[in-house]
Amino acid sequence: MFEELLEDIAQKNGLREVNVYLKLAAGLGAILLCLISASYLAPLFIALFLTGAILILARVDLKTYAELFFAPLFFALISVAGIILITGGPDIFWRWDLLPGFSLSITRESINQGVFVFCRVIGGMSAMIFIALTTPMTDIFIVLRRCRIPEVVIDLMMIIYRTIFILIDQVIQIYHAQVMRLGYSTYRESLYSFATLCGAAFIASWDAGEDLIRAMDARCYDGKFALLGESRPLERMPCLAVMTFLLLSTAVVIATGTITIL
Amino acid sequence: MSSIILEARDISYRYPRGMEAIRGISFHIRKKEKIALVGPNGAGKSTLLTLFNGMIRPDTGIMLFDNQPIRYDTASLRILRKRVGFVLQNPDRQIIAPTVYQDVAFGPTNLGYSVPEVKEAVTLALRHVGLEGFERRPPHQLSGGEKKRVAIAGVLAMDPDVLVFDEPTSGLDPSGSEDIMELLDELNHEGKTIIISTHDVELAYPWADRAILMLGGRILKEDVPDVAFGNIEAVRKAHLSIPTLLELHMELHKRGFLLSGKKPRTVLDMMHCIETLFEKSSDRQRHGTITVCNVDLDTQELLSDWLSKHKGVSIGAMGTRAKQYAENSRIHLDFTYGVIDKCILKALLGEESLILTTESMVKRVTLRVDAYGKESGASIPVNQLTASPEEMNDKNGCVP
């Protein structure tokens, strides 16, 4: 099951010590540029650049990255196929009158549109993965507080974050116990096993919740949660690198203008 | 004898809609004592522990802390819980925050410390348990022993007077357990009162100043460990076992070997018993030397110099920081727990040994060796490895 989590990779990645704001600027900036760009080339450029950063700078191994990258790509391909078939246009390559008043067609415009959307997805996705793999949640909490998100929300998020891992641990243990006793062997059996797994996980989390309150009380809980406030210093090299990346990408966005594939 | 810090007067407690967990218990705990609550599962150990910091309130009887009855209003409980730190059995249940730093800072923050004060408390606590540099790590990536240490650090950061541990070594490997027990010793040495619950007799026997045997919500026997665990009837009733060394001693006694001195609590004690029996210890003329190196002083060069001169000596480290120091300096450790006793054993064989330790523990080595010397008449020289070479020359820290 899910033994290796994104969060674990993020905690160990090569860019862990780089200032959080810089990483977020690079990631969010890249997403914005992907959205602004009117050509399919700029998002591709961004995707290539960030993929390089993830593989070389953050030292994430290729297999993990590829798995992460290709999983959602399947959905993107289906939607793009839909776009290509439904979008109309004057320059028709292929057409099929399915029903009166409704036809599927492939046109120059639809292909351009499809490729454009697909590249945007790739660009945006690489930016998302870049953030997910280089910035652990614990660092994002600091940013959230700086952004004046209400304390209650952040405290809740932190407790949830911590609890998720405990719950996952428990679920894995229960799951293994079930598999060892031949749970999930048939379809019916797997339905039943899954239901008991859910039930057991619920009870375990309820228990853990009560213990949590006790543990907090035992340590004088008074509505306050400490936060590791220190952010990594802004170093010159990473700063320059992010700026170069964003400027270069902007330049590509402008230069490629509205270039289309066909 | 030091003053009483915790006292129970005829307390009982029944869980809501449940069984009676505590049925009339009275006892007291003095400052700086090491107490082991021992008993089978369901004897009421954990319930009794939660009474200490006011997590639950006894139905009848009163609990006293520092000779004051415990009050159960919010403000008083806060003060009590600051002074009585509680470490749960399962560290996963105790660790709340997403990073080690945040978790250790939880108590101090809620006590209203300022940010620099919190930082200082956290740094100190992490240093204590030997987890410097773990600040930004998320707890779910740590090993069981490390999690336990984080949980302990979280309580230490509040600087309590009394530390209560529910099964401190459950789920840890033997060496991890010994490490934790050593840490408890270290804390006790700094003046903290320590109460643990356990059903590991072998662990409690050499460690505790006093053992409280519990069964069915009552105290079965309360005494120094060799008496408490030596009572076959009580031990059998409490579903426990007699510690191996004690049993061996009893069996030897039954067979007519008149063993002198107090009952053995460690292998060293046992060796002493046996050696006096065969009067062998007097044969050996020269004892080996124990050298103590304080890692808090800047002794890096001195130490490597010493080590190059004394090849093949046994080296032990006491305290987490000393162990870390050894790891950083790539010193191979022969002993990591029960260090002083093992070094005395070496010395009795006429071999040299070195103990790496921290400032607060240096004195303990001399004290322990002195105590042993008084008892057995063996004089074992203890040297300090200090910066000035004059002092190094046979500064005898023990009874002539």
pLDDT of res. A127: 93
Report the percent of chain A where pLDDT is more than 70.
Answer: 97
How many beta-carbon pairs below 8 A join chains A and B?
Answer: 94
**In this structure, what are the phi and psi dihedrals at residue A224, rounded to the nearest 5 degrees?**
-120, 145
pLDDT of res. B284: 54
Sign for the pseudo-dihedral over CA of B254, B258, B262, B267: negative
CA-to-CA separations, B365 to A12, B127, B202, in angstroms, rounded: 41, 21, 23
Domain encompassing residue B171: 4-241
**In this structure, what are the phi and psi dihedrals at residue B190, rounded to the nearest 5 degrees?**
-85, 10
In a domain, B251, yes or no: yes
pLDDT of res. B193: 95
pLDDT of res. B65: 92
Same domain, B85 and B216: yes
Q: Give the pLDDT confidence of A3-25 residue by residue, as tens digits.
A: 467 888 888 888 888 888 889 99
A220 reaches B (C-beta below 8 A): yes
DSSP B121-142: HHHHHHHHHT-TT-TT--GGGS
Same domain, B81 and B140: yes
DSSP B86-97: EE-S-HHHH--S
| Rounded distance between C-alpha atoms, residue B216 and residue B238, angstroms | 9
pLDDT of res. B37: 93
Q: Nearest CA to CA, how far is B34 from chain A (Å)?
A: 21
Task: List chain B residues with CB under 8 Å of A204.
Answer: none
- The single-letter code of the amino acid at B290 is I
Same domain, B188 and B302: no
State mean pLDDT over A86-105. Answer: 82
Overall domain count for chain B: 3
| Rounded distance between C-alpha atoms, residue B270 and residue B364, angstroms | 21
Same domain, B117 and B10: yes
Q: Which residue bears the tokens 């996963």?
A: B92
Same domain, B206 and B327: no
Q: Which residue bears the tokens 């819980």?
A: B81
Q: What is the pTM of this model?
A: 0.77
CB-CB contact of B349 with B378 (8 Å): no
3-state secondary structure of B136: coil
| Rounded distance between C-alpha atoms, residue A251 and residue A258, angstroms | 13
pLDDT of res. B141: 84
A222 reaches B (C-beta below 8 A): yes
Q: Do B96 and A229 touch (CB under 8 A)?
A: no
Task: List chain B residues with CB under 8 Å of A167.
Answer: none
Name the packing angle between helices A151-180 and A137-146 (round to 10°).
Answer: 160
| DSSP β-ladder status, B68-69 and B60-65 | antiparallel
Quote the mean pLDDT of chain A.
86
Same domain, B77 and B170: yes
Same domain, B56 and B25: yes
- Taking 50 as the pLDDT cut, the residues of chain B under it are 281, 389-400
Residue A51 has pLDDT above 90, yes or no: yes
- Residue from the list A11, A166, A221 with its beta carbon closest to the beta carbon of B141: A11
pLDDT of res. A230: 64
3-state secondary structure of B109: helix
Q: Nearest CA to CA, how far is B33 from chain A (Å)?
A: 22
In a domain, B400, yes or no: no
pLDDT of res. B197: 93
Report the percent of chain B where pLDDT is more than 70.
Answer: 94
Q: Do A138 and B108 touch (CB under 8 A)?
A: no
pLDDT of res. B260: 66
Task: List chain A residues with CB under 8 Å of B93.
Answer: 208, 211-212, 215
Q: Do A219 and B139 touch (CB under 8 A)?
A: no
| Rounded distance between C-alpha atoms, residue A213 and residue A209, angstroms | 6
Q: For B140, which DSSP code?
A: G
State mean pLDDT over A176-201. Answer: 86
The residue of chain B nearest to residue A207, with distances taken between CA atoms, is: B93
State mean pLDDT over A119-133. Answer: 92
CB-CB contact of B367 with B185 (8 Å): no
**Cα within 13 Å of Cα(B1), Cβ side:** 7
* CATH assignment at residue B218: 3.40.50.300
pLDDT of res. A25: 92
Same domain, B54 and B194: yes
Q: Do A228 and B82 touch (CB under 8 A)?
A: no
pLDDT of res. B393: 44
Task: List chain A residues with CB under 8 Å of B154.
Answer: 219
Given its phi and psi angles, is residue B335 left (phi above 0), alpha (psi -120 to 50 degrees) or beta? beta
